């Protein structure tokens, strides 16, 4: 049996979101820290719901830092749904970082 027939898919069937996420993470860390990343920084891409993954990551942490864009139907609010859930359910203190705008 040969390769599958080509068709017009809305998404590239060879797309690897895990690889894209890792690339974005690496590029962002390079942009922010250059070659001088903080000691102990352990970048990691984790699959799952953002709120669930972050709340679980807060176990045993000293501080959880999250951004707040307030998107997704809540554009007028100061906290987005993920930062709000983390603030309420995290197992450590939470710092919500807002954009300068």
Section 50-62 average pLDDT: 95
pLDDT score at 11? 74
Residue 4 in this model has a pLDDT that exceeds 70: no
95, containing H or E segment: strand 94-98
User: Where are the domains positioned within the chain?
Assistant: 62-101
Helices (H), the chain: 17-33, 50-57, 81-89
The predicted model gives 81-96 an average pLDDT of: 93
Exposed e or buried b per residue across 6-23, where buried means at least 16 C-beta atoms within 10 angstroms of its C-beta: eeeeeeeeeeeeeeeeee
Q: Which residue has the tokens 């100061």?
A: 78
Asked if pLDDT for residue 76 goes beyond 70, the answer is no
pLDDT higher than 90, residue 13: no
Task: Please check the confidence at residue 72 and state whether its pLDDT lies above 70.
Answer: no
How many CB atoms are closer than 10 A to CB 56?
Answer: 13
The answer to whether 54 and 64 have CB atoms below 8 angstroms apart is yes
Q: What integer best gives the mean pLDDT of the chain?
A: 83
Is a pLDDT exceeding 90 seen at residue 95?
A: yes
Beta bridge partners of 85: none
């Amino acid at each position: 049996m040969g390769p599958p027939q080509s068709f017009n898919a809305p998404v590239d069937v060879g797309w690897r979101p895990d690889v894209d996420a890792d690339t974005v993470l690496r590029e962002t860390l390079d942009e922010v820290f250059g070659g001088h990343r903080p000691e102990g920084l352990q970048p990691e891409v984790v699959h799952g719901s953002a709120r669930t993954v972050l709340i679980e990551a807060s176990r045993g942490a000293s501080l959880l830092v999250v951004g707040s864009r307030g998107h997704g139907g809540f554009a007028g609010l100061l906290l987005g749904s993920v930062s709000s859930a983390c603030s309420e359910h995290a197992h450590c203190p939470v710092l919500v970082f807002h954009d300068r705008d």
